[in-house]
Amino acid sequence: MALPSRPSLPKSSSEISHEDSKGFSSLRRLLLAPEQTELERLKDRLEDFRLQPQDVGRVLPDAIRLRAQQDSRLLASMIPITQEALSLSIKQSPQLISDSIAPILGPAIRKAITRAMRGMVQSLNQTLEYSMSLKGLQWRWEAFRTGKSFAEVVLLHTLRFRVEQVFLIHKKTGLLLNHVVAEGISGQGEEVISGMLTAIQDFVRDSFGQKQDDGLESLRIGDLTVWIEQGSGAILAGVIRGAPPMELREVFQETLETVQAQFSELLQSFKGDVTAFEETRFPLEDCLQAQFEKKSQGLPLVFWILLGLLLLGMGIWAVQARSDQQRWAQLLERVGREPGLVVTSVQDQGSQSVFYGLRDPLAINPNEILSEFGYTSKQAIFRLNPFMDLTPEFILKRAMLQLRPPSSVAMSWEGTNLVLTGEAPHSWIQQAQLIGPIIPGVTHIQMKQLVDTDLKQFETLKAKLEGETISFEVGNSILGEEQRSALLSISETINAIDQLALLLGIAPHVQVQGFASPEGRKEVNLHLSLLRARGVLNELALGSFRAASIEAVGMGPAFVDEALPPNGIEDSRGRQVGFRVVVGEDRVSERL
């Protein structure tokens, strides 16, 4: 049942103003909430200001670029850090650095080698060309008079032109950017020469009212000529001996254009640091050209003889080097395949190669391998530390050495087991059981197929003894002469069983069992059988037993449950003494 609602009372002025204030606050939060949140975040950040890595990451590239444009202090401060970082990188990843600079060093090295070989061959050709001619003899006399070398005299007489020096000069400042010199020419005072050329250029422009882009193109100083090529940012000057052809101008111009195209930004922002222009050496060296006079007639015979001898010597050397390389590769392969040898490194120490690694004492002597390939200890030696090879081959070798099995025993390795097959004496089997498990690499010895020859002989003697019988007359327990003579062989068998039992560690019990025929009273027959067994035991020529024991046992009537022979006539099988060998299981050794 619903209760009647109370009539609403008019609100006071204070309540109305309070509700208006709350509504105004809600409206203000709706309109200004995002700005207030941002202002509070900025306030918190200013009060607890911390430079965040992401903030630095956003401005660091631009900051470095702007600071580097002001001066070189940033570069100077970064040089030690960069050097240490590069040194550490080379130590940790030398292959990475090698792969990075290989595209640059490779062509540069090949180019330098090619240029050096070209100059050497050219000088050799010039020398050999005139060595045996009349003019060559005159030049030899001149070399003797002047104290110069014959090759230098030949060069002076046969040279048409040669660019001896090339200068790359910054056009605005007149500073020398790079300088290359031909082989055999000593460059001195490069900075002075560069400044002199710049001064002469300025003097010519000022004296004759030339424009800034105009300038001196050539100078003549004695037998040297200086060719100058003007560029927008650099000047190329070449010092030439002889009469150069005009085609050389094109070479200079192309070189200058190449340098200005590749280093335009560096030329514009140049402030005295010339280290960035080291890479201009290679295009500048292309300007170091030379041309010689050609002799009209062919090369002298001595040249071809020397060339033939040189080629022959190089051919013999190449064949010998190839043979030595193949022999060395075969030696390394042979050492790598040899079991028991582990070569970890090969180091060259002078004229001797040293093999470092490991060697099992049962492995082949490595010096025999060296002798096999014709190497001596002066050429190669082994410094190997001992270790134990646990491969099946060396486990078997070690087992053969420690167990020394008889020729009738074969050893093999299956999985982790040392398998013994064949025949062996009991003493050797016991030794193998003790020593085998302590051989390194051997955890278990399997002997299921190994025959114990002593145990086998024991079983043979046991079967032989148990097959012997001594027969008696009806109702008689006295041995006759015939039965006594048979006891000698039985005694030898029993004594042999005792000796083998001692070797095998067992204690067999020999029973001399007396029997009687089933006729007559059972008690009488039992007593008669005991008398017969004791009589045989007393007559046996037995020594003192060390392992076996023996007793006489009366078995009573024999063949009680069997029918008579087919002829119905009773035979002597019941009136006899037999033998039985009993081996107690509790007294058998662990091997059995």
- CATH number of the 454-587 domain: 3.30.1330.60
Name the phi and psi angles at 464, rounded to 5.
-65, -45
Q: What is the pLDDT of residue 586?
A: 43
Of 12 and 335, more confident: 335
Of 208 and 434, more confident: 434
Of 57 and 364, more confident: 364
Could you state, in order of their start, the residue ranges of all structural domains in the chain? 158-292, 304-386, 392-448, 454-587
What number is the average pLDDT over the span 269-295? 82
Quote the CA–CA distance of 292 and 17 in Å, as a whole number: 113
314: confidence class by pLDDT, cuts 50, 70, 90 = very high
Cα distance from N-terminal residue to C-terminal residue, the chain: 103
55: confidence class by pLDDT, cuts 50, 70, 90 = low
Three-point CA angle 327, 328, 332, nearest 5° = 120
138: confidence class by pLDDT, cuts 50, 70, 90 = low
Q: 3-class DSSP state for residue 451?
A: strand
Quote the CA–CA distance of 366 and 334 in Å, as a whole number: 10
Q: CB count, 10 Å around CB of 452?
A: 21
Contact 432, 442 (CB under 8 A): no
CATH entry, 158-292, from 3.40.1360.10, 3.30.450.70, 3.30.160.160, 2.102.10.10:
3.30.450.70
Q: What is the pLDDT of residue 202?
A: 64
Percent of the chain with pLDDT over 90: 3
**324 pLDDT higher than 80:** yes
Of 222 and 116, more confident: 222
Q: Report the candidate in 237, 229, 231, 217 with the shortest Cα–Cα distance to residue 267.
A: 231
**Helix residue ranges, H only, 436-549:** 453-466, 481-504, 522-539
Q: What is the pLDDT of residue 460?
A: 92
Percent of the chain with pLDDT over 70: 72
**125 pLDDT higher than 70:** no
Q: Cβ-count burial of 547 within 10 angstroms (0-12 exposed, 13-18 middle, 19+ buried)?
A: middle
Contacts of 157 (CB under 8 A, 6+ apart): 139
Quote the CA–CA distance of 80 and 470 in Å, as a whole number: 113
565: confidence class by pLDDT, cuts 50, 70, 90 = very low
What number is the average pLDDT over the span 251-257? 88
What number is the average pLDDT over the span 276-292? 84
Helices (H) and strands (E) in the chain, counts: 17, 17
Cβ contacts of 343-352, under 8 Å, gap ≥ 24: 351/378, 351/379, 352/378, 352/379, 352/380, 352/381
Q: How many Cα neighbours within 13 Å face the side chain of 355? A: 22
Average pLDDT of the residues of the chain: 77
**301 pLDDT higher than 80:** no
Residues composing the chain: 592
**260 pLDDT higher than 70:** yes
Q: With a threshold of 0.85, does the pTM exceed it? A: no
Quote the CA–CA distance of 128 and 505 in Å, as a whole number: 100
Q: CB count, 10 Å around CB of 137?
A: 12
Question: Which segment, 57-71, 73-87, 394-408, is predicted with the most confidence on average?
Answer: 394-408
Each residue of 78-120: pLDDT tens digit?
Answer: 777 877 777 777 777 776 666 666 555 555 555 555 555 555 5
Element (H or E) spanning 324, and its range?
helix 301-337
Quote the CA–CA distance of 589 and 452 in Å, as a whole number: 13
How would you label 18-49 residue by residue, b for 16+ Cβ within 10 Å and e otherwise? Answer: eeeeeeeeeeeeeeeeeeeeeeeeeeeeeeee
Q: Is the dihedral of CA 491, 492, 495, 496 positive or negative?
A: negative
Q: What is the pLDDT of residue 580?
A: 92
Each residue of 333-375: pLDDT tens digit?
Answer: 888 888 888 888 888 888 888 888 888 888 888 888 888 888 8
Q: What is the pLDDT of residue 153?
A: 63
